[in-house]
Amino acid sequence: MNDLDALLPLLTPEGRALLDEVRGTDPAQELAVATRLRRDHPAALVSAALGQARLRQRAVAKFGAGDAGRMFFTPNGVEQSTRTTVAAYRAERMRALGVTSVADLCCGIGGDAIALARAGIRVLAVDRDPLTAAVARANADALGLAGLIEVREADVTEVDTTGYDAVFVDPARRGGRGRIFDPESYSPPLSWAVEAARRAPRAAALKVAPGIPHEAVPAGAEAEWISDGGDVKEAVLWFGTEPGTVRATLLPGPRTLLSRRLPDPAVRPVGRYLYEPDGAVIRAHLVAEVAEQVGGGLLDATIAYVTADGLVPTPYATAYEITDHLPFNVKRLKALLRERGVGTLTVKKRGSAVEPEELRRKVKPQGPNAATVFLTRVAGAPAMLIGHPARPAQSVSTP
């Protein structure tokens, strides 16, 4: 589906029935299915339905099979929309702040508006692109949320948000050349979004790229980095919460680690365990808080690996038991892996220029056993740490 003319026929009874018919079509059978359906339906409608079916299949990872099978998507909408788990978490934070109505500016296909409405919050969803706004409206209707979501096609900078408790702004962070890293080049610019946030009577949230520099966080904002299943998804600038707070939130959970403004941990010798902090923890600059929790220090002053002598439960890092600490040497690693019958090799790196696939080709792991190798630096020197995830009986879990 590339334009509004392709979407609208899918919203008719014939279009919806056709979508049900092509649900789950195997890509290998798509040509045969299309040929058969074109005997009874317009070719353009069949093509639009099959295209939408492909998008729904891609969207399952973000929205779940139930919602994805009923919603409508654009290619950009699938790629750029917020994962349901993240949107639901953010909506619950809004609800807990006492928010009952939100102006969702740059709403996209409506993923965040849906989560807010499901939290019982009334939503004005705004997007200037006619197709995107139409898809958001269709999704609110498809999920039975049209009574809580008003979709408006407009330039967000011209929308009056008076009468709404809060605003949520998700600026476009992609352009013709790919990702945009300068927050002032977002559409709309971050400075405009911040001013809109400061005018909100109760709260506001601005979604920004997780790579936003800490010095770019505006005064009076809380900065939160969110990961889901270990993958960093976004950063959010909150207004109406505690100014200056920095936090990392891990989903599922949620589990939240707050900054205590600790000094950088000391560098220490390699201990029995290595802790790999979650990406959101690293982005939020909270490695020191993890190091304090586990009684550890850093392998290197510039690298976010924590080492300690004991295994201490923390949800904010994955623990590995280290069996070997070697200077970087591919031949020695190859010999050690052959001696131990390692055929399944996980390669992690931080502070090393060596690519994991390149290393695997060189060491040619073979055998029934598994190991993890960390390519990193220890006190400035290139090193290899070999080990394995902490045993299940010793697994890191929520306190």
Give the pLDDT confidence score for residue 183 in this predicted structure.
Answer: 82
Lowest model confidence (mean pLDDT) among 54-58, 171-175, 202-206, 392-396: 392-396
Give the pLDDT confidence score for residue 176 in this predicted structure.
Answer: 64
Q: What is the average pLDDT across 180-199?
A: 89
Give the pLDDT confidence score for residue 399 in this predicted structure.
Answer: 43
Chain mean pLDDT for the chain: 93
Give the pLDDT confidence score for residue 26 in this predicted structure.
Answer: 85
Q: What is the CA radius of gyration of the chain?
A: 25
Neighbours of 389 (CB within 10 A): 16
DSSP string, 180-205: ---GGGSBS-HHHHHHHHHH-SSEEE
Q: What is the average pLDDT across 175-199?
A: 85
With residues binned 3-state (H G I as helix, E B as strand, rest as coil), the percentages for the chain, rounded to 5, are 35, 30, 35
Q: What is the average pLDDT across 70-89?
A: 94
Residues 6+ away with beta carbon under 8 Å from 351: 300, 302, 303, 375, 376, 377
Query: Does pLDDT of 2 surpass 90?
Result: no
In the numeric block, which tokens belong to residue 160?
């009056």
First and final C-alpha spacing in the chain: 47
Give the pLDDT confidence score for residue 175 in this predicted structure.
Answer: 67
In the numeric block, which tokens belong to residue 174?
């992609």
Angle subtended by helix axes 111-118 and 43-68, to nearest 10: 40
What is each CA distance from 143 to 138, 261, 372, 376, in whole angstroms?
A: 9, 43, 44, 48
Phi then psi for residue 85, to 5 deg, are -60, -40
Q: What is the average pLDDT across 100-129?
A: 97
Query: Does pLDDT of 72 surpass 50?
Result: yes
Domain boundaries, the chain: 4-73, 79-257, 273-394
Give the pLDDT confidence score for residue 391 in this predicted structure.
Answer: 78
Residues 380, 221: Cα–Cα separation, whole Å = 36
143 and 114 Cβ atoms separated by less than 8 Å: yes
Give the pLDDT confidence score for residue 398 in this predicted structure.
Answer: 44
Give the pLDDT confidence score for residue 392 in this predicted structure.
Answer: 53
In the numeric block, which tokens belong to residue 75?
């290619």
Query: Does pLDDT of 25 surpass 90?
Result: no
In 3D space, the residue among 138, 151, 192, 146 whose CA is nearest the CA of residue 169 turns out to be 192
In the numeric block, which tokens belong to residue 165?
């408790």
Q: What is the average pLDDT across 25-52?
A: 90
Residues 81, 93: Cα–Cα separation, whole Å = 19
Tell me the torsion sign for CA atoms 365, 369, 374, 379.
Answer: negative
- What is the pTM for the complete model shown? 0.90
What is each CA distance from 390 to 169, 322, 339, 373, 375, in whole angstroms?
A: 41, 9, 22, 14, 18
Lowest model confidence (mean pLDDT) among 112-116, 181-185, 322-326: 181-185
**CATH superfamily of domain region 79-257:** Vaccinia Virus protein VP39 (3.40.50.150)
Which range scores top for mean pLDDT: 112-121, 179-188, 205-214? Answer: 112-121
90 falls in which pLDDT band (50, 70, 90)?
A: very high
- Positions of E strands within the chain: 101-105, 122-127, 149-153, 166-169, 174-175, 178-179, 203-208, 222-228, 231-239, 246-251, 255-258, 273-277, 297-300, 303-308, 317-327, 342-349, 369-378, 381-389
pLDDT single digits (tens) 264-285: 999 999 999 999 999 999 999 9
Tell me 226's DSSP state: E
Give the pLDDT confidence score for residue 393 in this predicted structure.
Answer: 52
202 and 99 Cβ atoms separated by less than 8 Å: yes
Between 143 and 1, name the one with better pLDDT.
143
